């Protein structure tokens, strides 16, 4: 019995490891800006498009992944998904053609879309129901460590190897992980029963979501709140801090990693505070306002000491973690038969927002660029970056507007989290 329990925990850790891998691959380009632009002969706008390609396929796959997981289970899908990501890394590392690089990032997003759902599936199928919120919450926080590793540590590694060698290494990790998942989950005692998905039920569920305005208002607010994390923290923050504060790549990457440290610490705290107060909307309002107050001086007051920069970036992540409550609100406002669909739509819309915003920032940077090059790479000024990064304060203000418009459902208080309540955090 003890061996079975240990094996179950090992299986859960495999799901967390895949989620870590997904976050890592999603964020790795942030520290590869100059070498990638040089190798692919692209500018800021195309670089933003390249990074965000991951999110478009990720967002499109959200609802299909849930249906596929219910139908086929974790073993075949998770092992296949991580192998697909590994193969896409090989394609990415092997090309100097921008269009092929885009295709490889799209494929990475398709495979990565199984990361969070897969970890949640394992948590719900092989552990007691009451442990699901804890397991998924901890799993998501551990997975987000992948973003941190993809910043300062990866930046240091890139001082010794090329970005192509790095992606070949990522590919090896993905292929080995896929084989390991297939072997471990292939044992008969860990197989689960699957059921056929009724097409009419799926169609009805999707129609129900499209007709519920509160689901969409909440999802848009979630999108606008979340893009600061993926757009600033996940891509443009590192080159901005490097140029605006005059630091090396590794220190800039470490500074931006504070955003994700804030998320990791803030996620559990936000859930506890919201549950005690019983007012998720108010916690969201406070979170958006404080995140806005933290990011404004980071972007526009570039003479501050580094310790204050680190504190403010940590605050951006800490207060942005209130965005997790949008998933709880998605559950609250959806009819009981549409809760999972509401979660999937909210999560997918957040990824879609990242797909739009990352290249949009690049286009704005290029719009104000004076055409100067250095070593074959466009040379952008601090003012160019500031113009592009203005997107993030604007998005936080708009998020606040949509949160204030949103009508919180008060008649159905849930003192205990249900299976999907407050567990669907990051893309």
In sequence order, the β-bridge partners of residue 373 are 378
pLDDT tens per residue across span 319-361: 998 888 887 788 778 776 566 667 777 878 888 888 899 899 9
Using CA atoms, how far residue 299 sits from 91, 102, 387, in Å, is 36, 29, 9
The pLDDT tens digits for 37-84 are 999 999 888 998 898 899 889 988 887 887 777 677 777 889 999 999
Q: Delimit the CATH 1.20.1250.20 region(s) of the chain.
A: 1-185, 209-408
CATH class for the domain made up of 209-408: mainly alpha
Give the per-residue pLDDT at 339.
65
Tens of pLDDT, residues 101-136: 999 999 999 999 998 778 877 876 777 765 655 676
- The mean predicted confidence, pLDDT, of the chain is 84
| Predicted local distance difference test score (pLDDT) of residue 7 | 75
Residue 86: partners with Cβ closer than 8 Å, 6 or more residues away: 170, 171, 172, 173, 174, 175, 177, 178
Pick the CATH number of 1-185 from 3.40.50.720, 3.30.70.240, 1.20.1250.20, 3.40.50.620: 1.20.1250.20
Instruction: Kindly write down the DSSP assignment for every residue of 207-268, as one continuous string.
Output: HHHHT-HHHHHHHHHHHHHHHIIIIIIIIIHHHHHHHHHT--HHHHHHHHHHHHHHHHHHHH
pLDDT of residue 297: 98
* Banded model confidence at residue 202, pLDDT cuts 50, 70, 90: low
Provide the pLDDT confidence category of residue 226 given band limits of 50, 70 and 90.
very high
Calculate the CA dihedral of residues 387, 38, 169, 140 and round it to 10 degrees: 10
User: Which among 101, 114, 89 is positioned nearest to 172, based on CA atoms?
Assistant: 89
Task: Grade residue 426 by pLDDT with cuts at 50, 70 and 90.
Answer: very low
Q: Which of 133-147, 236-250, 370-384, 403-417 has the lowest mean pLDDT?
A: 403-417
Report the pLDDT value the prediction gives residue 262, as an integer from 0 to 100.
94
Q: How confident is the model at residue 414 (pLDDT cuts 50, 70, 90)?
A: very low
Instruction: Note the pLDDT of residue 327.
Output: 78
- 2 versus 307: the higher-pLDDT residue is 307
Integer Cα distance of 238 and 51 in angstroms: 14
pLDDT, average across residues 170-179: 95
pLDDT of 427: 46
Residue range 227-239: mean pLDDT, rounded: 91
The pLDDT, as a whole number, for residue 133 is: 53
Is residue 2 over pLDDT 80?
no
Whole-number percent of the chain with pLDDT over 70: 85
């Amino acid at each position: 019995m003890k061996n079975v329990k240990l094996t179950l925990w090992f299986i859960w850790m495999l799901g967390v490891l895949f989620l870590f891998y997904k976050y890592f691959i999603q964020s790795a380009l942030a520290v590869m800006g100059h070498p990638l632009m040089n190798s692919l002969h692209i500018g800021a706008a195309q670089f933003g498009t390249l990074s965000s390609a991951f999110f478009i396929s990720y967002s499109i796959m959200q609802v299909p992944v849930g249906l596929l997981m219910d139908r086929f289970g974790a073993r075949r899908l998770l092992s296949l998904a991580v192998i697909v990501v590994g193969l896409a890394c090989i394609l990415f590392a092997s090309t100097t053609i921008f269009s092929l690089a885009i295709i490889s990032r799209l494929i990475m997003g398709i495979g990565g879309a199984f990361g969070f759902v897969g970890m949640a599936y394992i948590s719900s199928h092989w552990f007691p129901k009451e442990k699901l919120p804890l397991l998924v919450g901890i799993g998501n926080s551990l997975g987000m460590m992948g973003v941190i590793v993809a910043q300062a540590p990866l930046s240091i590694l890139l001082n010794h190897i090329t970005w192509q060698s790095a992606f070949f290494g990522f590919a090896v990790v993905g292929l080995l992980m896929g084989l390991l998942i297939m072997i471990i989950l292939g044992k008969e005692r860990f197989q689960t029963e699957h059921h056929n998905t009724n097409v009419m039920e799926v169609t009805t569920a999707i129609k129900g979501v499209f007709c519920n305005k509160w689901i969409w208002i909440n999802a848009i607010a979630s999108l606008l709140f979340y893009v600061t994390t993926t757009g600033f923290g996940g891509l443009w923050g590192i080159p901005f801090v490097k140029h605006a504060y005059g630091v090396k790549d590794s220190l800039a990457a470490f500074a931006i990693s504070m955003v994700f440290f804030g998320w990791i610490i803030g996620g559990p705290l936000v859930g506890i505070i919201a549950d005690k107060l019983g007012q998720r909307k108010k916690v969201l309002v406070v979170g958006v306002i404080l995140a806005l107050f933290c990011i404004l001086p980071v972007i526009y007051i570039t003479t501050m000491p580094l310790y204050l920069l680190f504190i403010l970036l940590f605050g951006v992540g800490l207060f942005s973690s209130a965005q997790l409550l949008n998933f709880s609100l998605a559950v609250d406002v959806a009819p009981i038969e549409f809760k999972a669909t509401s979660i999937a739509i909210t999560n997918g819309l957040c990824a879609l927002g990242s797909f739009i915003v990352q290249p949009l920032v690049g286009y704005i940077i290029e719009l104000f660029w004076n055409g100067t090059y250095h070593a074959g790479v466009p040379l952008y000024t601090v003012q160019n970056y500031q113009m592009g990064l203005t997107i993030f304060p604007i998005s936080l203000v708009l998020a606040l507007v949509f949160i204030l418009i949103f009508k919180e459902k008060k008649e159905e208080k849930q003192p205990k989290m249900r299976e999907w309540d407050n567990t669907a955090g990051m893309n």
